[in-house]
Chain A
Amino acid sequence: MAFISSVKRTLKKVKWKRYTSYIVVGAWFAVLLLLDLFGGLNDTGSRLMMLAAVYAVLAVSLNLVVGVLGELSLGHAGFMAAGGYIGAIVSKALAPSLPVAAYFPVSMIAGGLAAAAFGILIGVPVLRLKGDYIAIVTLAFSMIVFTVAQNLDFTGGASGLKEIPAETNYINAFVVLIIVLVVIQNFTRSKHGRAIMSIRDNEIAARACGVNITYYKLFAFTLAAFLAGVGGCLYAHTATVLRPESVDYNTSIELLVMVVLGGMGSMTGSVIAAAVLTLLPEYLRFLQDYRMIIYAVVLILIMVINNNETLRRYKDRFFAWCKRALAAAWAKCKTALKGKKKAPAPAAETRETLQAPAEFTEVDETALDERERKGEK
């Protein structure tokens, strides 16, 4: 018993929030492996899961730019394309002489490096500029990549690059996803990630704390480009043909919707949103034609809600309500489970249900604004 309680205590000390993304992805992967083992995963299913994991890699890498660095990139598919084409070309060259396990990682790293090179190339001039310019330049970049890919010989032109070894499957996609998550989260939860987030939150204060703004912006941007290149390489190997259309600006927007929907800065959110947005249209076929319209509407709605004081308050209240409802349900489950052994502990329950910090922060923030205005005047 003493052992069990000590284990319990240790488990309580663990900051679970840090590991949610690994738990979610790990559990999902484990379920797939089990299903596969017992023949419950058909070709369509495993292909969809593979695509979901590939998009998750791409969405998570975009989240590093949008959520963590706080800069809007509308051309993430440009990096994906760079990684995809270069990776596929390397694979085609190496495939005849090497086993998959040897050349696939090489192609992924080559694709990542190619994308990172583009990241530095456009990051150096652009990241000095403010906000909107970055969005516009990244968009232009991805359009250039698209047009170039459509017209060059070695990328296969408009009909696409053919005879790529289609070696991506849900297993290696998930392995890469987990590695990418580890890299991103270890990076963001360190000195470097904190520096990047401080730039996002307040550039002037970050500079006053001795944070080198240009260096860290470029670092985050290049790392994101590298990981997008890796994701693009995975994507290129999901089929034998890589067409320019599948890495055009529509894809950038789709990725952005995943990030925004999943919550800026939340890697778990990006993974879940990527999965939902990849799987949902497959099962709701009639949505296919309206997909881009729905995405656009969702983007507009989220932006409007997040940038409107009143609407945001309603949203916060809604989430606070959801949280309370969940907490109450959880407490009920607990008491139902423990009911036979012990009487319920109402004190703990009320404490949990009373937690609604959203309302308090609202009051504090407005009070602060008022004070600030008075002080400034």
Chain B
Amino acid sequence: MPILKTENLSITFGGLKAVSDFSVEIEKNRIYGLIGPNGAGKTTVFNMLTGVYKPTAGRFYLDGEDLTGKSPIYINRKGVARTFQNIRLFGKMTVLENVLVGLHAMNKCDPFSSILRLPRYWRTERELKNKAHALLDVFGLDGEAEHISSNLPYGKQRKLEIARALATNPKLLLLDEPAAGMNPHETGELMETIRLIRDGFDMTILLIEHDLKLVSGICEEVTVLNFGTTLAQGKVEDVLRDPAVVTAYLGE
């Protein structure tokens, strides 16, 4: 059974069909690419899959469960986590605290135990801080755990956002243009990191990307969107050779 299955997912904004009939099946442990020119509707797909927007038609299933129209919190609990195209960190909080917010749902401490500092507070706090430090360590951010997150350099902010998403313990990770604004060296590093997440966390990854080199480098399959419609779908090598895709990209 595929981890994510969408059936004709569509959304209209006041007459504008931003996405129409988006259908994919993503198997477990894949790195799947979603590409297409600007304004094609890629981010809108992510917003539907995370419950930010309610699709006007179509359904989607995570691990067989229908999540169409559910709230972002519910969808997150069920195992979809994401990063954002324009980084959305908790800017005034520390790097560690950012990851701790990701671990929020796992923290079962009640307000009274927190205010009275009962043993339960100390236990959960210690446990989750260890977890957060371990996650930061994977991304080489543990040295900056106590830094204010908005003071991190750009590349590290992207990594922190991924770490925070992973902290919510997802089955499916959605990355929105993770390489945007990175130099080639950083992009190479990022590709390594993404592979490492897939293998180390046994993760399925759906990623939006502009950089075709990155896409062909790490994705096994892709879907190409253009003006909200699916232009091509399948193995990377085949899709990138598709004449319709080439015109959509070069014709821009």
Residues of A bordering B, CB below 8 Å? 182-183, 186-187, 190-195, 197-198, 200-202, 204-212, 219, 265, 357, 360-361, 364-365, 367-368, 371-372, 374-377
A368: shortest Cβ distance to chain B, in Å? 5
Contact residues in A for B123 (Cβ distance below 8 Å): none
> Can you list, as one digit per residue, whether each of B148-178 has a CB less than 8 Å from chain A (1) or not (0)?
0011111001000000110110000000010
Contact B107 A191 (CB under 8 A): yes
Contact residues in A for B76 (Cβ distance below 8 Å): 207-210
Contact A201 B90 (CB under 8 A): yes
What is the bound-complex CA distance between A211 and B103, given in angstroms? 10
B154: shortest Cβ distance to chain A, in Å? 5
With both beta carbons as reference points, the residue of chain B lying nearest to A370 in the complex is identified as: B181
With both beta carbons as reference points, the residue of chain A lying nearest to B72 in the complex is identified as: A207
Contact B88 A210 (CB under 8 A): no
Contact residues in A for B90 (Cβ distance below 8 Å): 197-198, 201-202, 205-206
With both beta carbons as reference points, the residue of chain A lying nearest to B117 in the complex is identified as: A186
Contact of A211 among B73, B121, B157 (CB under 8 A): B73
B189: shortest Cβ distance to chain A, in Å? 16
Contact B100 A208 (CB under 8 A): no
What is the bound-complex CA distance between A376 and B43, given in angstroms? 12
8 Å CB interface, B205-230 against A: none
Contact residues in B for A192 (Cβ distance below 8 Å): 111, 114
Contact residues in B for A376 (Cβ distance below 8 Å): 85-86
- Does B41 sit within 8 A of A, measured CB to CB? no
Interface of A, secondary structure class, is: helix
- Does B93 sit within 8 A of A, measured CB to CB? yes
> Can you list, as one digit per residue, whether each of B117-150 has a CB less than 8 Å from chain A (1) or not (0)?
1000100110000000000000000000000001
What is the bound-complex CA distance between A361 and B92, given in angstroms? 13
Contact A208 B72 (CB under 8 A): yes
What is the bound-complex CA distance between A197 and B93, given in angstroms? 8
Contact A195 B73 (CB under 8 A): no
Contact B109 A191 (CB under 8 A): yes
Number of residue pairs A-B, CB distance < 8 angstroms: 119
Contact A201 B92 (CB under 8 A): yes
What is the bound-complex CA distance between A323 and B222, given in angstroms? 53
- Does B89 sit within 8 A of A, measured CB to CB? yes
16 additional A-B pairs beyond A190-B109, A192-B111, A209-B104, beta carbons within 8 Å, are: A186-B117, A187-B111, A190-B114, A190-B121, A190-B125, A191-B104, A192-B114, A194-B101, A194-B104, A197-B92, A197-B97, A202-B91, A206-B90, A208-B88, A372-B86, A375-B85
Contact residues in B for A194 (Cβ distance below 8 Å): 93, 97, 100-101, 104
Contact residues in B for A183 (Cβ distance below 8 Å): 115
Asked whether A195 and B89 contact (CB < 8 A) given A187-B111, A190-B121, A205-B84, the answer is no
Residues of B bordering A, CB below 8 Å? 38, 50, 52, 72-73, 76-77, 81-82, 84-93, 97, 100-102, 104-105, 107, 109, 111, 114-117, 121, 124-125, 150-154, 157, 164-165, 167-168, 177, 180-181
What is the bound-complex CA distance between A193 and B82, given in angstroms? 23
What is the bound-complex CA distance between A377 and B177, given in angstroms? 13
Contact of A364 among B125, B154, B167, B168 (CB under 8 A): B154
What is the bound-complex CA distance between A196 and B54, given in angstroms? 25
Q: Which of A187, A364, A377 has the most chain B CB atoms inside 10 A of its CB?
A: A364
Contact residues in A for B101 (Cβ distance below 8 Å): 194-195, 198, 206, 209, 211
Q: Which of B52, B73, B125 has the most chain A CB atoms inside 10 A of its CB?
A: B73
With both beta carbons as reference points, the residue of chain A lying nearest to B180 in the complex is identified as: A375
Asked whether A367 and B107 contact (CB < 8 A) given A186-B115, A209-B102, A209-B164, the answer is no
User: What are the nearest 10 A-B pairs in CB distance?
Assistant: A371-B181, A190-B114, A201-B90, A375-B180, A205-B88, A210-B76, A191-B107, A198-B101, A210-B105, A207-B72
B76: shortest Cβ distance to chain A, in Å? 4
Contact residues in A for B102 (Cβ distance below 8 Å): 209
Task: Sample 16 A-B pairs with CB under 8 A, ordered by A number.
Answer: A187-B111, A187-B114, A190-B111, A191-B109, A202-B90, A208-B72, A208-B82, A360-B151, A364-B151, A364-B153, A364-B154, A368-B154, A375-B85, A375-B181, A376-B86, A377-B38
A365: shortest Cβ distance to chain B, in Å? 7
Contact of A208 among B81, B109, B115, B116 (CB under 8 A): B81
Q: Which of A194, A205, A368 has the most chain B CB atoms inside 10 A of its CB?
A: A205
